């Protein structure tokens, strides 16, 4: 690995990425709109707004890979999502096209959050976003496909479930993405020759997982962890919100929900 740019480097996952790749990259560029915490020795620090196209083009100059974890990390009004997540991601892919970099994009399970928990998905099933945040993630997955087909920009979109040191509740028994597993998946995407354009489930090998087939064929991945070892302590940690408990997106799906009756379950593509 040579030159890596991490967007969103001040966030929880961004900080973990910075520490992980500090001794793996010959050059490490860390960017966020917020002031960055203390960065690893030798890393370059750039405080920039992803909505500023020239700033993004400049900080991505002569990098080989962009770990795009920047943008708003939860639900916000549409105009704010539009600026940070949609326009900002467009600038990231323009920068990748200019520099010849590949992009590893932090997508989200909220791109498919309105599937019911009884449904087991693969990546052929269409997006079903549970809000503007999830909608932005689905948009960037398609943006990645467009830049691959039109410009040959390689990318992997990781539909991250719950990337945490340990699962915290019953839902996480299905969605947990152990941090070492996340790092291993990113490393495999950086090493793949070629990478192409992939859509991957960002989850560990959870026995109660909702997500199946994806585009990982040919990636050098180690055996992944399983949240089941936490089940005895967590399986009773559920909410009293039936909308939350019905849908894979959990609280994102119930936020602002005002239907009188649930919509029929969306069909799966089989």
Each residue's pLDDT tens digit, 209-246: 999 999 999 999 999 999 999 999 999 999 999 999 99
* pLDDT at residue 71 greater than cutoff 80: yes
Told to judge if 257 belongs to the known catalytic residues of this protein, a careful annotator would answer: no
For 250-259, what is each residue's pLDDT tens digit? 999 999 999 9
Q: What local confidence, expressed as pLDDT, does residue 42 receive?
A: 87
* Mean residue pLDDT across the chain: 96
Q: Is the pLDDT reported for residue 1 higher than 70?
A: no
Catalytic-labelled residue, pool 76, 133, 147, 247: 133
> Where does the pLDDT of residue 39 fall: very low under 50, low under 70, confident under 90, or very high at 90 and above?
confident
Q: How far apart are CA 251 and CA 83, in angstroms?
A: 24
pLDDT at 36: 84
72-105 residue pLDDT tens: 999 999 999 999 999 999 999 999 999 999 999 9
Please give the pLDDT value at position 37. 81
Render the burial of 182-202: b for 16+ CB within 10 Å, e for the rest.
bbbbbbbbbebeebebbbbbb
Could you confirm whether domain 3-254 is CATH 3.40.50.720?
yes
Model pLDDT for residues 155-192, shown as the tens digit of each residue:
999 999 999 999 999 999 999 999 999 999 999 999 99
How far, in Å, CA of 55 to CA of 134, rounded? 26
> What pLDDT was estimated at residue 270?
60
pLDDT of residue 88: 98
pLDDT class for 41, splitting at 50, 70, 90?
Answer: confident
- pTM for the structure as a whole: 0.97
> Which pLDDT band, with edges at 50, 70 and 90, does 199 fall under?
very high
pLDDT of residue 164: 98
- Determine the pLDDT at residue 267: 86
**What is the percent of the chain where pLDDT is above 70?**
99
CA Rg, the chain, in Å? 18
């Amino acid at each position: 690995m040579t030159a890596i740019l991490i967007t969103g480097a001040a966030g929880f996952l961004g900080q973990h990425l910075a520490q992980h790749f500090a001794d793996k990259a010959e050059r490490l560029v860390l960017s966020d709109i917020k002031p960055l915490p203390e960065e690893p020795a030798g890393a370059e620090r750039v405080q920039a707004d992803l909505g500023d196209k020239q700033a993004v083009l400049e900080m991505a100059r002569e990098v080989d890979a962009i770990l795009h974890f920047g943008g708003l990390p939860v639900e916000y009004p549409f105009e704010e999502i539009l600026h940070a997540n949609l326009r900002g991601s467009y600038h990231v892919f323009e920068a990748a096209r200019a520099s010849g970099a590949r992009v590893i994009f932090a997508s989200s399970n909220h791109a498919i959050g309105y599937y019911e928990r009884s449904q087991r998905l693969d990546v052929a099933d269409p997006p079903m976003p549970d809000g503007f945040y999830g909608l932005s993630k689905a948009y960037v997955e398609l943006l990645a496909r467009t830049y691959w087909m039109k410009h040959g920009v390689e990318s992997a979109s990781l539909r991250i479930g719950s990337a945490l040191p340990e699962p915290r509740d019953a839902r996480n028994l299905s969605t947990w993405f152990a941090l070492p597993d996340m790092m291993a998946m990113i490393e495999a995407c950086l090493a793949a020759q070629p990478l192409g354009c992939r859509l991957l489930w960002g989850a560990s090998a959870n026995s109660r997982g909702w997500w199946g087939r994806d585009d990982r064929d040919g990636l050098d991945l180690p055996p992944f962890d399983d949240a089941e070892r936490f089940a005895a302590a967590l399986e009773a940690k559920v909410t009293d919100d039936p909308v939350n408990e019905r849908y894979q997106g959990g609280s994102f799906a119930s936020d602002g929900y005002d239907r009188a009756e649930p919509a029929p379950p969306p069909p799966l593509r089989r």
